[in-house]
Each structure stands twice: as structure tokens, then as C-alpha cells.
A and B are shown apart, each in its own frame.
Chain A
Amino acid sequence: MPLLLTILLAPMVGALLLLFVREDQTAVVRRVALASVSVSLAGAVAALLTYDRVLGGFQHEVFWPWVRSLGIGFHLGVDGINAVLVLLHALCAFTGVLISYAIGSRVKEYYIFYLILITGVFGVFLSLDLFFFYFFYEMAVVPMYPLIGIWGSDVEEQGVVRFSKEYATMKLTIYLTLGAVVALVGLLWLYASTGARTTDLTALQEHFAVRPLPASLQRTLFPLLALGFGVIAPLWPLHSWSPIGHAAAPSAVSMLHAGVLMKLGSYAVIRLAVSLLPAGAQAWLPWLAVLCVFNIVYGGFVAMAQKDLKLIIGYSSSSHMGYVLLGIACLTPLALNGAVLLMFAHGLMTALAFALVGHVYDRAHTRWLPDLGGLAHQLPFIAGCGVIAAMASSGLPGFANFVSELMVFVGGWDAYPVQVVCGVLGVVITSVYMLRVVRGVFFGPARPAYAKVTDARRAFDRLPYVVLIGALLWVGCWPGPLVHTIDVSTRPLIERVNPVPRPLRQLATPTASATTAAVGLVAPTEGVH
């Protein structure tokens, strides 16, 4: 069986198998789920390791004609960009299934929905066909409704419900679906105007190389795609579903949600909007760069004002996604590489943060910051991980976040200096609220109310945290291979959008790898056989 098909279908097969498992056999249910995501994880690692950087382009392709009369094909493939994101999703899914062991009620239904969600996200990252891209996108959005609605928790403020989980999940589903249908209108319009009668991404790109769409049409279509998919990114001011959704969701769902689902939006902007509509991108990306600053600064300040742990992390996620979108908007090789790497780094970091908050909330039964404190006495391991997560989030060197944020800032300096300065301010804001969380939750005198709170003691319980931190540190200390893999695919993309580099900038940043070398991140020759 082809590698990518295995990655995609393993969780789906797991979900189907679960239909035949009895409701009360929770141990079996969990094992089936874990086994299926482990297969995907192994596949994702293999896909990244076997990706040939010299050859470039899409590899491990699977192609079956699906609806011939409309030019729809089932087309899977990975390049440097989505290979990294598939690995991110596989890691989050794997650790998410482990964290989901905490779920005690209606376990079978939970894992069925969870595995469908995982399949949908893999499908979006792997599909190279517009039809299946959208197909899997919607398939990933809708399982969120029951996942949050049934297993989530209300967002409370001092015992008063501020947002019920039903409100949160409906808002999330409707926002994302509205965004999706706006993007759908754009995609249909695009498909109808090409005259190529194909939904295949590679075929469309070849077609556009010869006969590009008129620039005016590109400028009309770009906002439809960028805003439609931007809702899930979540682009300010369309972000308001996201922190509430994160806060109401069970921890493992928040992990996937903040860790991976948001990246679907930025990935779609890169893969569809920027790549298919270069003229539209040139016209609209400066505006995107402005919106990102609101994401970063506004999101950061709102996060500072929160007292609910999950809301803090939720707003922090939407703030940090601003860096990713800024990196895309800059459209220099270095910044775009940074944006993709930041998707990876931020995904792992947020997943870690939500897993930790989930542990605290499950044991202490509150996530209200003023009520917590001194938990490091009872939870030394979790507290240690919490400090690490806060450091990663604040962009301390040694973590993947530092590398990628630096790449975005350095790469974006020539394009949007003002926005970059605001972005750097965001790093400071992040440290403020993350350090406050760490101090407020873990440090201070031990509180008698939490005397019975238990740490993650067994190695098995610690596994998800170790995996996530390990990946963050590994990429943070040795980003070269990953950056090179990403670079193989971002470079042709940028050349397509910016065929003639603007003269001034050419002086400043001759090539990405030279700049990368100049900042001392990687040696330019490394990884090229």
C-alpha cells in the first residue's frame, strides 16, 4: 500500500474497527485508536525521511482518476511544506490519543469522532486536488461539533458560565463552515474560469504557467480564498470563535485544534491562494501583513487580560498564528521557511500547553488562575514541562519557536519593517503572560486544597509530554534538515509569485540559504547530496 495512503487511511480504518468494538471495552477502544495513529506517525516520519531534497517537487504520489468528466482525481503527494506539517499532525494526533486516555465517558464514540477528525486533517495536508482538499477540510470541521459539545466543558468565571460549551462549539462550527463556503465559492469560480476542466493542483499550476488567469480576476479571487481559509488560521478579526472553542474543548481536542487545525488555514493560504493566484497575492498580501499585526498585538494583550488558563493559551495561539501569517505575507524565502517551520513549532508547543492545562484541570478541577498556585509541590513533572512550554512559547533559544520566529523577523525585515517591530513586541507580551501563568499555577506556597492532586507518574503518562518536548528541542537545536526540506518547496513557489526580485531587496537578501547561513542557522551546503 502506498505510504501516503497508509498515513491517511490508518485512522479511518481505526474508526471503522471501533464500530465493531463493544462500548464497555474501553481498553480495547483506546488500543485500537493508539495503534492506528501510531501507524500514521510511523508513516509520517518515513515520508519525511525518504523525501528526496535533490529531486524536490511532489513525491510519494498517489493518483487515481476519480470523476473523469469533471477532471477530479484522488491525488496525494508530499513536498517539503506538507511533509513537515504531516509530521506535526501525526505527532499531535499520537500524543492527543494518549492524552485522551483521561476521557472516561462514552469513550468509543469519542474516539470514533476523534479519528475521523484526524483523517480529515491528514486528508487536507496530503491532497493535491481541490475537490479532495475541500472534501477533507469540511470533514475535519464537523466532528468538532460533537467532540466539544459532548466532552467539552463550559467556560466559567467564578462559578458563572461565561460561554457554554454548546455556544462555543456551535460558534466554532458555523464560523469555520462559513469560511469554508466562502473559500468554496472562490474555488468553484477558479475552476470554472481556467477552462482546463481539472481540479488537480499540479495540472492547474502547469496550466497557469502557460495561460495565467487575468490579474483582475486573481485580485477578486484571492480575498475569497484568503479570508475563507483565514477564518480557521485564525485571521483577525475573524478569530473570535477560536479562543472560546479552545477553552471549551477537551484537552486532546484543543491540542489538535490549536496545534493542527489552525495550520490548515495558513497551509491553504500558501498552497492555494498564494500559489495559484500570484498576482492576487501581490496585491493583497500587504493588507494581510497589517491584519497579522492585529493578530499578534491584540491577541497578546487579550491573552494577558484572561484568567482562565485555556483562554490564555487560546488567545496566545491566535496571537502566535499572526507570526505565521506575517511570514507568509512577507513572501521572502527566509520568512516563508520560517512561517512553515513556525507552524510546526507552534503546533507542538500549543499541543504541549493544552495537554498540561488539561492535566491540571482534570486533577485540580479548576483552571481559574487566581484559584491555582503552588502546584509544583504536587506536580513536579508537570510543572517542569510547564516551564519548558512557557520558555518555548516566549521564543527562548534552544526551542524550535526561537529559530522560526527569528527567521520570520529577519526574512520579513526588508518587506515590512514596521510590522516586524510590532511582531517583536508580541514576543515580549508573550513572555509576560506565559511567565504569569507559570508563576500563578506552579509556584508559591503549597495549597492544602490541592494536596491530593497527582502528577503524571508512570512513564506511559509522561510519554506524550516527552515526545512533544523532545521534538521541540530537537528541531530547535538542529533545524537544518527541516529548513532545507521546506526550502526545497518554498523557493519555486516564491519564484512563481515574484518572478523578478525587487532590486533593492536583492541586495539585502541574495538567497535564502545565504541569509540563513549569515544568521548562523545552518550551513548552506548541508543536506544537499
Chain B
Amino acid sequence: MMPWALLTAELTVSGWILLLLGADLIVPAARKARLWLVALAGIAVTWGVLQLVEVPPAGATFQRMFLLDPFAAYFKTLFLLTAAVVVLMTREFRPLAERAGSFYLLLFTAVLGALVLASVNDLLMLFIGLELLTFSLYVMAAYLKTEARSVEAGMKYLVLGSISSGFLVYGIALLYGAAGSTGFDAVRGALLRTATMPSVAAGVLLILAGLGFKIAALPFNFWVPDVYEGAPTPVVAFLSVGSKMAGVVAILRVLYGAFAPLQHIWGEVLALMAAGTMCYGNLAAIPQTNIKRLLGYSSIGHAGYLLMGLATGSAAGAQAVAYYLLAYLVSTLAVFLVVVVASDAVGGDELDRYDGLSKRSPVLAAGLFVGMLSLAGVPPLAGFVGKLFVLLAATDSGLIWLVAIGAVNVAISLYYYLMVVRRMYLLAPRAPDPIRVSGITRTTLFLLLAAIVVIGVVQEPFLVRITDAIRP
């Protein structure tokens, strides 16, 4: 039974998928809105199971296709946390209420894909995990089937996503040809033994392109603004946090596990991609008039910082990326939680509807204020430390030019985040009536904001956990 013990978390989620499927059939339509409790319980149980399982320093199963190590455990925890907040978000998103059952089902399959991705040690496993995640998201993006924008978002995501999957498979095939195996260990061995052939380099780059699509890196990010604008907001939140994190985790596994010998190739490619991605994302965010589009471009900007950490190829870079993701997770989820509630109350995602939000709901405005400043990288908030660690790792690797670009982008991103703050705090509200925020949402928001401050001020405990997960 030993091989299965390492898969307990994935098996739990799979079991819960069946449970949700059954519940969706049994529960009457009127009470489907209550299904969030079942979903949340599933995440809590999985989290508990993950804590109970003894994580070996380098556990592997299924011919080393699947790993369970502290690295996997760390990111699985983050995926579950994201999913939990997204479930709480869906409570507030009314268009989903009637069809919540199958939505949670899809969310769980997406989470299952992400959990698998955290453990991959084989190119085929990588493909399976990625497709499981992405297929769920295709459907989720188009979930509001009566709304043209949502369907359009789903279609765009599907078409571009399929092309990037094609890249990925092509790359896998090329590498298989060179290494004779899809296992990361075998690929690394083959890359060490032989001189780099053009086909191998092409394979590596194609795989990076396929994964670059997931994290919205230039030039694979053209789906982002339209999908962010059209898809249901909780889905966008999961796309922005869960999916991006899954992409980064997969890149970390592939680059540090399989492609380590080729660092001279992908290091430079990623550094260039990082510079382009963050400049494009942050500059294009400036003229946006829709908050979800703005957040889409800003998420491209953040992908740039993540790529900067990855480009270092060092353990410090990977640790910085892990810290950045933690900070990005809490900040982005806080922002999207506010957007879900506020958009419902103010009647749209257009930025001008946020005018004077601080007068209508000080809590929501404060949440958006703190979340966005954290994303911009203002101390004492989490995002600041994440950016600092990434910049520090890049400096240590001698990428001063990239650090300079990254530093200037901090100021650019502060500009457009402050433009939102300006609307909320400086302008007069369009309607005077206060916005009511439910107790559960309020508590979730407070917890996220507290986490933003704690992660920003007390870095050591998190860093110890991360260095435990990512060893040089």
C-alpha cells in the first residue's frame, strides 16, 4: 500500500469530487447555494490529511513519476488555501448560485490538477496535471453560458490554451527523442551526458512556452485581459492565483529538476522574458478602465517578477519565488474578494463605479487599498518583502540590469494602483447608500489583510518553512 500513501491528498480530493457529483444530483436546486459548505469541508479535510501524512524528505512513487517532498507539501497547502478563499468568494457571486454544484466540482478537478503539478517528476505527469487544471478552467471561464463575454472568454482561453498545450507536447516529444524517457531524472542525465543538440534546446524552449502560457508571460499572455474581463470573478481569482502558481511550480520542477544542466540557455531566455513581461504588464495596465482588465495586466506584471526569480536558477531565487507567491496569493485574493462583493453592489466592474467607495464601505475600500499597495510592493505589506527577496536573489546572480528594470516597475505599478485608490478615496461616490458586507466575507477579508501585514513584517517563520521546502 505504500505507493498510495503519498497520494492521500489527491485521493481525498478525488473522493470529494465524487461526493460533490452525488450532492449536486441529490440536493434540490433551491438549496444548492449551500453547497459551498460541502466544498469548504472538502478542502479542510484535504488540508487535514496533508498535515497528517508524514512528508518524507524525498518521497517518490510510481517509478518516480510522482514526488512528495516538503516542496510539494508547501505548494499543496497554498493551493488548498487559494481554493478555500475562492469557495468563500463564490458565496458572494450571485450569478453562480443556481449552478454552484457542478462549479465546485470543476473547482475540485482544477485543484486536483494543481496538486498533481506540485508533485510532478515526469514530463507526461506534467502534461496530465496541467491539462486537468486547464480543462477545468476552460469550462469555468465560460460558466455563465448566457453571458456573451463569459463564453467569449472561455473560447479564447480554450483556443490559445490548446495551442500552448500543443507546444508543450511537441517539446516533450523532442526531449523524449533525446533522452529516451520522460522522467525528469532520465532527462537530466541525458542532458548532462550529451552535448546540447538544437532539437533539445528547441524542446526546452517549447516546454517553457507551454508553461509560459499558464503564468501569462510575454509573449504568451494575449488571452489574459479578455479572459479576465469576461470570466466570472471567482474563476478569475483562481486563474490569477491558483493557475499562475501551478505554472510557476511546474516551471520550478522542470527547470531545477530536469533542465538544470541547460541553465545557460533558459536563464537568459527567462531573464529577457521577465523584463519584457513586467514592462508590458505594468505599462499596459495604466490606461485600463475595467478593474478586472487592470488586474489582468497587473498579474502579467507580477509574472515578470516571478520569472526574474526563476531566471536566477539559484536556490535563493526559488525561495524568493516561493515567498513572492505566498505574498501574491494573500494580496490578490483579498483584492478579488473585494471586487466580487463590490462589483455586485456597485453594479459593474468599470473603474468609475468604484468612485467614492471609501464612503460607501470603509471596509471594502480599506481591503482594496491594503491589497493593492501590497501588490505594488509597499512596506510593511507582504508584497514588498516578496519583491525585495526576488530583487535580492537577482542581484546575487549578477542580473543588475534586470533588477533596475524590476525596481522601476515598482514605481510604475504604484501609479496605476494609486489611480484606483484615488477613485475610492478622493472622488465623490455615485450613490450614497452604504454597502453591506456579510459577516463571513468580512472575517475572511480581515484574515487576509492580517496575513498581508504579518507576512510583510515577520518574515523569518515563513522563510524557514520555505528554505525547508527548497534546499540548495
Contacts and interface: CB of A to CB of B under 8 A. Distances in A.
The bracket for how many chain B residues form the interface is 20 to 34
A149 B425 contact: yes
Interface of B: 358, 373, 378-380, 384, 388, 391-392, 395-396, 400, 403-404, 407-408, 410-411, 414-415, 418, 421-422, 425-426, 459-460, 463, 467
B379 A139 contact: yes
Nearest to B407: A181
A81 B23 CA distance: 70
Contact of A192 (B395, B407, B414, B463): B395
A134 B407 CA distance: 13
A181 B411 contact: yes
Contacts of B395: 188-189, 191-192
A185 interface: yes
Contacts of B414: 142, 173-174, 177
A174 B410 CA distance: 10
Contact of B426 (A136, A166, A192): A166
User: Which of B384, B400, B426, B459 is the most central at the interface, judged by chain A CB atoms within 10 Å of its CB?
Assistant: B426
Interface string A183-223: 01100110110000000000000000000000000000000
Contact of B380 (A68, A139, A178, A182): A139
A236 B379 CA distance: 27
A30 B215 CA distance: 48
Contact of A189 (B388, B400, B418, B459): B400
Given A67-B459, A178-B411, A173 B418 contact: yes
Nearest to B456: A135
Closest 8 CB pairs of A and B: A181-B407, A188-B395, A192-B395, A135-B379, A177-B411, A178-B411, A149-B426, A142-B378
A150 interface: yes
Given A146-B425, A177-B411, A181-B411, A136 B418 contact: no
A184 B391 contact: yes
Interface of A: 66-70, 72, 109, 131, 134-136, 138-139, 142, 145-146, 149-150, 166, 170, 173-174, 177-178, 181-182, 184-185, 188-189, 191-192
Contacts of A68: 460
Contacts of A131: 388
A166 B380 CA distance: 24
Contacts of A69: 463, 467
Given A69-B467, A135-B379, A185 B403 contact: yes
A182 B467 CA distance: 29
A169 to B, nearest CB: 9
Contacts of A177: 410-411, 414
7 contacts: A135-B380, A136-B379, A166-B422, A177-B414, A178-B411, A184-B391, A192-B395
A138 B426 contact: no
Contact of A184 (B407, B415, B422, B425): B407
Contacts of B459: 66-67, 72
B379 A138 contact: yes
A188 B422 contact: no
A173 B379 CA distance: 14
A139 B422 CA distance: 18
| Interface of B, helix, strand, loop or mixed by DSSP | helix
Contacts of B408: 178, 181
Nearest to B403: A185
B421 A170 contact: no
Contacts of B380: 135, 139
Contacts of A149: 422, 425-426
A480 to B, nearest CB: 39
Contacts of A166: 422, 426
Contacts of B411: 174, 177-178, 181
A171 to B, nearest CB: 10
Contact of A142 (B373, B403, B425, B460): B373
Contacts of B404: 185
A223 to B, nearest CB: 13
Given A67-B463, A139-B379, A146-B425, A188 B418 contact: no
A145 B418 CA distance: 8
Contacts of A189: 395, 400, 403
Contact of A135 (B384, B396, B463, B467): B384
Contacts of B460: 66-68
A136 B457 CA distance: 11
Contacts of B422: 149, 166, 170
B391 A188 contact: yes
User: Which of A68, A136, A192 is the most central at the interface, judged by chain B CB atoms within 10 Å of its CB?
Assistant: A192
Nearest to A137: B379
Contacts of B415: 170, 174
Contacts of B410: 177, 181
Given A67-B460, A138-B384, A145 B421 contact: yes
Given A178-B411, A192-B392, 13 more contacts: A66-B460, A72-B459, A135-B379, A149-B426, A166-B422, A170-B422, A174-B414, A174-B415, A181-B407, A181-B411, A185-B407, A189-B400, A192-B395
User: Which of A66, A177, A191, A192 is the most central at the interface, judged by chain B CB atoms within 10 Å of its CB?
Assistant: A177
B378 to A, nearest CB: 5
Nearest to B419: A170
A141 to B, nearest CB: 8
A95 to B, nearest CB: 26
A358 to B, nearest CB: 20
B381 to A, nearest CB: 9
Contacts of B426: 146, 149-150, 166
B130 to A, nearest CB: 32
A166 B419 CA distance: 10
Contacts of B403: 185, 188-189
A185 B418 contact: no
Nearest to A165: B426
Given A142-B373, A150-B426, A170 B418 contact: yes
